[in-house]
Amino acid sequence: MPVALTIAPDPPAPLIPPRKRWTRAECAVLESSGIWEQQKLELIDGELISKMGKGRPHVVALTRILYWLMDVFGWDRVNPAAPIDVAPEDNPTNEPEPDAIVFKLPGSGLQTVQPQPGELALVLEVADTTLRFDLTVKAGLYARAGIVEYWVVDVNGRRLIVHREPCARRLPLRGRL
Amino acid sequence: MLWLMDTFGRDRVNPESPIDVAPEDNPSNEPQPDLIVLKRASASFQSGAPQPGDLALVVEVADTTLRFDLTMKAGLYARAGIVEYWVVDVTGRRLIVHREPAPGGYRPVAAYGESEKVAPEASPQHELLVGDIFPLGKEIS
Protein backbone atom coordinates (compact mmCIF):
# COMPACT_ATOMS: atom_id res chain seq x y z
CA MET A 1 0.00 0.00 0.00
CA PRO A 2 1.57 3.30 -1.01
CA VAL A 3 2.02 5.98 1.59
CA ALA A 4 1.85 9.67 0.86
CA LEU A 5 5.08 11.46 1.71
CA THR A 6 4.39 14.76 3.33
CA ILE A 7 7.91 16.09 3.75
CA ALA A 8 8.24 19.46 2.13
CA PRO A 9 11.13 20.15 -0.21
CA ASP A 10 14.00 21.92 1.49
CA PRO A 11 14.40 25.55 0.58
CA PRO A 12 17.56 26.12 -1.42
CA ALA A 13 20.64 26.39 0.78
CA PRO A 14 21.72 30.00 1.27
CA LEU A 15 24.73 30.74 -0.87
CA ILE A 16 26.98 32.64 1.51
CA PRO A 17 29.36 33.81 0.23
CA PRO A 18 27.64 33.94 -3.15
CA ARG A 19 28.88 31.27 -5.50
CA LYS A 20 29.57 31.50 -9.14
CA ARG A 21 26.65 30.05 -11.09
CA TRP A 22 27.79 28.25 -14.19
CA THR A 23 25.83 28.36 -17.38
CA ARG A 24 25.36 25.80 -20.09
CA ALA A 25 27.21 28.03 -22.54
CA GLU A 26 30.25 28.26 -20.25
CA CYS A 27 30.16 24.53 -19.62
CA ALA A 28 30.08 23.84 -23.34
CA VAL A 29 33.24 25.92 -23.81
CA LEU A 30 35.02 24.19 -20.94
CA GLU A 31 33.87 20.79 -22.14
CA SER A 32 35.24 21.38 -25.63
CA SER A 33 38.52 22.66 -24.20
CA GLY A 34 39.20 19.17 -22.92
CA ILE A 35 40.03 20.01 -19.32
CA TRP A 36 36.91 18.25 -18.06
CA GLU A 37 37.30 15.14 -20.06
CA GLN A 38 35.75 12.17 -18.33
CA GLN A 39 34.75 14.13 -15.25
CA LYS A 40 31.07 13.06 -15.50
CA LEU A 41 29.56 16.33 -14.38
CA GLU A 42 25.95 17.44 -14.35
CA LEU A 43 24.86 21.10 -14.29
CA ILE A 44 22.12 21.72 -11.71
CA ASP A 45 21.04 25.17 -10.59
CA GLY A 46 24.33 26.65 -11.77
CA GLU A 47 26.41 24.14 -9.84
CA LEU A 48 28.47 21.28 -11.19
CA ILE A 49 27.49 17.99 -9.62
CA SER A 50 29.90 15.08 -9.84
CA LYS A 51 28.36 11.87 -11.06
CA MET A 52 31.33 9.85 -9.93
CA GLY A 53 31.48 7.41 -7.06
CA LYS A 54 28.47 5.24 -7.81
CA GLY A 55 28.37 2.21 -5.56
CA ARG A 56 27.53 -1.29 -6.73
CA PRO A 57 24.03 -1.10 -5.22
CA HIS A 58 23.38 1.92 -7.47
CA VAL A 59 24.69 0.10 -10.54
CA VAL A 60 22.74 -3.08 -9.86
CA ALA A 61 19.49 -1.20 -9.21
CA LEU A 62 19.93 0.88 -12.36
CA THR A 63 20.72 -2.18 -14.46
CA ARG A 64 17.65 -4.01 -13.21
CA ILE A 65 15.28 -1.12 -13.74
CA LEU A 66 16.66 -0.33 -17.19
CA TYR A 67 15.94 -3.87 -18.32
CA TRP A 68 12.46 -3.69 -16.85
CA LEU A 69 11.76 -0.36 -18.55
CA MET A 70 12.99 -1.73 -21.88
CA ASP A 71 10.73 -4.76 -21.54
CA VAL A 72 7.74 -2.59 -20.70
CA PHE A 73 8.20 0.31 -23.11
CA GLY A 74 10.45 -1.16 -25.80
CA TRP A 75 14.16 -0.55 -26.05
CA ASP A 76 13.83 2.33 -28.50
CA ARG A 77 11.93 4.43 -25.94
CA VAL A 78 14.50 4.13 -23.12
CA ASN A 79 17.83 5.97 -22.75
CA PRO A 80 20.32 5.61 -19.90
CA ALA A 81 22.23 8.69 -18.73
CA ALA A 82 20.84 11.11 -21.33
CA PRO A 83 21.13 14.88 -20.80
CA ILE A 84 17.71 16.54 -21.14
CA ASP A 85 16.27 20.03 -21.45
CA VAL A 86 14.04 21.34 -18.68
CA ALA A 87 11.90 24.48 -18.31
CA PRO A 88 13.03 27.34 -20.59
CA GLU A 89 13.83 29.55 -17.59
CA ASP A 90 15.92 26.78 -16.01
CA ASN A 91 17.80 25.71 -19.14
CA PRO A 92 20.59 28.33 -19.02
CA THR A 93 21.87 27.05 -15.66
CA ASN A 94 20.69 23.43 -15.74
CA GLU A 95 21.38 20.40 -17.85
CA PRO A 96 20.37 17.37 -15.80
CA GLU A 97 21.34 13.89 -16.86
CA PRO A 98 18.83 11.47 -15.34
CA ASP A 99 19.86 7.85 -14.83
CA ALA A 100 17.07 6.79 -17.19
CA ILE A 101 14.43 8.47 -19.33
CA VAL A 102 11.44 6.98 -21.13
CA PHE A 103 10.02 8.69 -24.22
CA LYS A 104 6.34 8.91 -25.05
CA LEU A 105 6.86 7.83 -28.66
CA PRO A 106 8.54 4.69 -30.02
CA GLY A 107 11.85 5.31 -31.74
CA SER A 108 12.50 8.59 -29.91
CA GLY A 109 15.28 6.91 -27.96
CA LEU A 110 17.33 6.96 -31.15
CA GLN A 111 16.87 10.63 -31.95
CA THR A 112 20.02 12.73 -32.09
CA VAL A 113 18.55 15.97 -30.74
CA GLN A 114 18.38 16.78 -27.03
CA PRO A 115 15.16 15.43 -25.47
CA GLN A 116 12.56 18.03 -24.49
CA PRO A 117 10.59 17.60 -21.26
CA GLY A 118 7.29 17.27 -23.14
CA GLU A 119 8.61 14.23 -25.00
CA LEU A 120 9.18 12.27 -21.81
CA ALA A 121 6.76 9.79 -20.26
CA LEU A 122 8.99 9.09 -17.25
CA VAL A 123 12.25 10.30 -15.72
CA LEU A 124 14.09 8.13 -13.23
CA GLU A 125 16.94 8.67 -10.80
CA VAL A 126 18.60 5.97 -8.73
CA ALA A 127 19.56 7.45 -5.37
CA ASP A 128 21.95 5.94 -2.90
CA THR A 129 23.96 8.91 -1.67
CA THR A 130 21.85 11.59 -3.43
CA LEU A 131 18.36 10.89 -2.08
CA ARG A 132 17.67 14.27 -0.51
CA PHE A 133 19.01 16.11 -3.54
CA ASP A 134 16.89 13.99 -5.89
CA LEU A 135 13.75 14.53 -3.78
CA THR A 136 14.17 18.29 -3.46
CA VAL A 137 16.25 20.16 -6.03
CA LYS A 138 15.79 17.69 -8.86
CA ALA A 139 12.12 17.11 -8.13
CA GLY A 140 11.54 20.85 -8.31
CA LEU A 141 13.48 21.10 -11.56
CA TYR A 142 11.53 18.29 -13.19
CA ALA A 143 8.20 19.59 -11.90
CA ARG A 144 8.86 23.06 -13.31
CA ALA A 145 9.71 21.39 -16.61
CA GLY A 146 6.31 19.69 -16.55
CA ILE A 147 7.78 16.20 -16.65
CA VAL A 148 4.70 14.07 -16.13
CA GLU A 149 6.18 11.34 -13.95
CA TYR A 150 9.39 11.14 -11.92
CA TRP A 151 10.59 8.07 -10.07
CA VAL A 152 13.31 7.99 -7.46
CA VAL A 153 14.69 4.57 -6.57
CA ASP A 154 15.70 4.87 -2.91
CA VAL A 155 18.33 2.15 -2.79
CA ASN A 156 19.06 2.34 0.94
CA GLY A 157 15.40 2.56 1.92
CA ARG A 158 14.43 -0.10 -0.65
CA ARG A 159 11.54 2.08 -1.79
CA LEU A 160 10.34 3.59 -5.04
CA ILE A 161 9.20 7.17 -4.66
CA VAL A 162 6.75 8.20 -7.38
CA HIS A 163 6.10 11.84 -8.29
CA ARG A 164 3.13 12.75 -10.49
CA GLU A 165 1.07 15.78 -11.45
CA PRO A 166 3.86 18.31 -11.83
CA CYS A 167 3.06 21.91 -11.11
CA ALA A 168 5.31 24.88 -11.49
CA ARG A 169 5.12 26.28 -7.98
CA ARG A 170 5.31 23.47 -5.52
CA LEU A 171 5.75 19.78 -5.94
CA PRO A 172 3.25 17.38 -4.42
CA LEU A 173 5.23 14.44 -3.13
CA ARG A 174 3.59 11.06 -3.28
CA GLY A 175 5.33 7.96 -2.10
CA ARG A 176 4.85 4.26 -2.58
CA LEU A 177 6.29 1.58 -0.35
CA MET B 1 23.74 -1.89 -25.19
CA LEU B 2 20.89 -4.09 -26.31
CA TRP B 3 23.22 -6.00 -28.58
CA LEU B 4 25.60 -6.69 -25.70
CA MET B 5 22.70 -7.80 -23.51
CA ASP B 6 21.53 -10.24 -26.19
CA THR B 7 25.05 -11.51 -26.76
CA PHE B 8 26.21 -11.95 -23.19
CA GLY B 9 22.99 -12.10 -21.23
CA ARG B 10 21.47 -9.26 -19.27
CA ASP B 11 23.01 -10.19 -15.98
CA ARG B 12 26.52 -9.64 -17.33
CA VAL B 13 26.10 -6.13 -18.76
CA ASN B 14 26.20 -2.98 -16.58
CA PRO B 15 25.81 0.63 -17.72
CA GLU B 16 27.77 3.40 -15.95
CA SER B 17 29.55 1.18 -13.48
CA PRO B 18 32.74 2.32 -11.74
CA ILE B 19 35.55 -0.23 -12.02
CA ASP B 20 38.93 -0.79 -10.43
CA VAL B 21 42.04 -0.64 -12.61
CA ALA B 22 45.73 -1.44 -12.00
CA PRO B 23 46.75 -1.27 -8.31
CA GLU B 24 49.18 1.58 -8.96
CA ASP B 25 46.46 3.55 -10.80
CA ASN B 26 43.62 2.96 -8.36
CA PRO B 27 44.46 5.74 -5.89
CA SER B 28 43.91 8.45 -8.50
CA ASN B 29 41.51 6.71 -10.89
CA GLU B 30 38.01 5.30 -10.73
CA PRO B 31 36.84 5.17 -14.30
CA GLN B 32 33.16 4.70 -15.04
CA PRO B 33 32.89 3.17 -18.50
CA ASP B 34 29.68 3.62 -20.48
CA LEU B 35 29.24 -0.15 -20.51
CA ILE B 36 31.02 -3.12 -19.03
CA VAL B 37 30.56 -6.81 -19.73
CA LEU B 38 31.39 -9.05 -16.79
CA LYS B 39 32.72 -12.57 -16.99
CA ARG B 40 30.08 -13.72 -14.49
CA ALA B 41 26.66 -12.50 -13.38
CA SER B 42 26.64 -8.93 -12.13
CA ALA B 43 24.60 -9.76 -9.03
CA SER B 44 27.66 -11.52 -7.63
CA PHE B 45 29.36 -8.11 -7.37
CA GLN B 46 27.28 -6.77 -4.52
CA SER B 47 29.68 -4.46 -2.78
CA GLY B 48 33.14 -3.90 -4.23
CA ALA B 49 33.79 -2.50 -7.68
CA PRO B 50 34.50 -5.13 -10.36
CA GLN B 51 38.19 -5.88 -10.76
CA PRO B 52 39.86 -5.67 -14.17
CA GLY B 53 40.15 -9.45 -14.29
CA ASP B 54 36.36 -9.74 -13.93
CA LEU B 55 35.75 -7.89 -17.19
CA ALA B 56 35.27 -9.50 -20.58
CA LEU B 57 34.82 -6.18 -22.41
CA VAL B 58 34.78 -2.46 -21.65
CA VAL B 59 32.98 -0.01 -23.96
CA GLU B 60 33.22 3.77 -24.13
CA VAL B 61 31.01 5.85 -26.39
CA ALA B 62 33.02 8.87 -27.56
CA ASP B 63 31.72 11.96 -29.24
CA THR B 64 33.61 14.83 -27.62
CA THR B 65 36.02 12.59 -25.69
CA LEU B 66 37.53 10.54 -28.51
CA ARG B 67 41.14 11.56 -28.06
CA PHE B 68 40.99 11.04 -24.32
CA ASP B 69 39.38 7.62 -24.70
CA LEU B 70 42.00 6.55 -27.24
CA THR B 71 44.99 7.76 -25.22
CA MET B 72 44.60 8.18 -21.46
CA LYS B 73 41.83 5.64 -21.01
CA ALA B 74 43.37 3.10 -23.38
CA GLY B 75 46.59 3.33 -21.36
CA LEU B 76 44.72 2.98 -18.09
CA TYR B 77 42.76 -0.06 -19.26
CA ALA B 78 45.82 -1.68 -20.85
CA ARG B 79 47.85 -1.32 -17.64
CA ALA B 80 44.93 -2.89 -15.79
CA GLY B 81 45.04 -5.84 -18.17
CA ILE B 82 41.45 -5.42 -19.38
CA VAL B 83 41.31 -7.94 -22.18
CA GLU B 84 39.22 -6.05 -24.70
CA TYR B 85 38.29 -2.37 -25.00
CA TRP B 86 35.93 -0.88 -27.59
CA VAL B 87 35.60 2.82 -28.36
CA VAL B 88 32.50 3.83 -30.30
CA ASP B 89 33.61 6.83 -32.39
CA VAL B 90 30.24 8.48 -32.91
CA THR B 91 31.47 11.30 -35.12
CA GLY B 92 33.67 9.10 -37.28
CA ARG B 93 31.05 6.31 -37.31
CA ARG B 94 33.70 3.72 -36.50
CA LEU B 95 34.31 1.13 -33.82
CA ILE B 96 37.87 1.07 -32.53
CA VAL B 97 38.80 -2.27 -31.03
CA HIS B 98 41.72 -2.70 -28.62
CA ARG B 99 43.06 -6.15 -27.75
CA GLU B 100 46.06 -7.81 -26.10
CA PRO B 101 46.74 -5.37 -23.27
CA ALA B 102 50.33 -4.82 -22.13
CA PRO B 103 51.81 -2.28 -19.71
CA GLY B 104 52.77 -0.08 -22.68
CA GLY B 105 49.31 -0.16 -24.23
CA TYR B 106 47.16 -2.32 -26.46
CA ARG B 107 49.07 -3.77 -29.37
CA PRO B 108 46.54 -4.43 -32.09
CA VAL B 109 44.23 -1.45 -32.34
CA ALA B 110 41.83 -1.78 -35.26
CA ALA B 111 39.20 0.62 -36.56
CA TYR B 112 36.13 -0.97 -38.14
CA GLY B 113 33.91 1.00 -40.51
CA GLU B 114 30.15 0.96 -40.79
CA SER B 115 30.01 -1.88 -43.29
CA GLU B 116 32.30 -4.14 -41.25
CA LYS B 117 31.47 -6.72 -38.62
CA VAL B 118 33.19 -7.31 -35.28
CA ALA B 119 32.81 -10.08 -32.74
CA PRO B 120 34.06 -9.72 -29.17
CA GLU B 121 36.76 -12.22 -28.28
CA ALA B 122 34.63 -13.35 -25.36
CA SER B 123 31.81 -14.30 -27.76
CA PRO B 124 33.34 -14.90 -31.19
CA GLN B 125 30.15 -16.37 -32.66
CA HIS B 126 28.27 -13.07 -32.25
CA GLU B 127 29.08 -10.51 -34.92
CA LEU B 128 28.03 -6.88 -34.67
CA LEU B 129 27.56 -4.80 -37.83
CA VAL B 130 29.25 -1.53 -36.86
CA GLY B 131 26.75 0.60 -38.82
CA ASP B 132 23.93 -0.68 -36.59
CA ILE B 133 25.37 1.21 -33.61
CA PHE B 134 24.91 4.66 -35.07
CA PRO B 135 21.82 6.80 -35.56
CA LEU B 136 20.61 7.14 -39.13
CA GLY B 137 22.77 10.24 -39.39
CA LYS B 138 21.89 11.37 -42.89
CA GLU B 139 18.17 11.51 -42.18
CA ILE B 140 17.97 12.59 -38.55
CA SER B 141 20.98 14.65 -37.54
What percent of chain A clears pLDDT 90, i.e. is strictly above it? 53
pLDDT confidence band for B93 (50 / 70 / 90)? very high
**Interchain CB distance below 8 Å, A34 and B42:** no
Handedness of CA B5, A128, B43, B86 (dihedral sign): positive
**Interchain CB distance below 8 Å, A54 and B140:** no
pLDDT digits over B8-60, tens only? Answer: 888 899 988 899 999 999 888 888 899 999 998 877 776 778 999 999 999 99
**DSSP assignment string, B30-99:** ----SEEEESS-GGG-SSSPPPGGGEEEEEEEESS-HHHHHTHHHHHHHHTT-SEEEEEETTTTEEEEEE
Task: Look at residue A124 and tell me whether its pLDDT is greater than 90.
Answer: yes
Give me the mean pLDDT over the A32-55 stretch. 80
Q: Could you tell me the pTM of the whole model?
A: 0.80
**How many Å lie between the alpha carbon of B121 and the closest alpha carbon of chain A?**
23
Strand positions, DSSP E, A18-171: 41-44, 47-50, 78-80, 100-103, 120-127, 149-154, 159-164
Give me the mean pLDDT over the A50-69 stretch. 87
Round to whole Å and give the CA distance between A10 and A137: 8
**How many C-alpha atoms does A105 have within 13 Å on its Cβ side?**
9
Amino acid occupying residue A54: K
Please tell me which of the candidates B34, B43, B141 has its beta carbon nearest to residue A60. B43
Handedness of CA A108, B127, B18, B111 (dihedral sign): negative
On average, the pLDDT of chain A sits at 86
Closest by CA position to B71, among listed A53, A37, A52, A50: A37
Q: What pLDDT sits at residue A49?
A: 85
Give me the mean pLDDT over the A5-17 stretch. 62
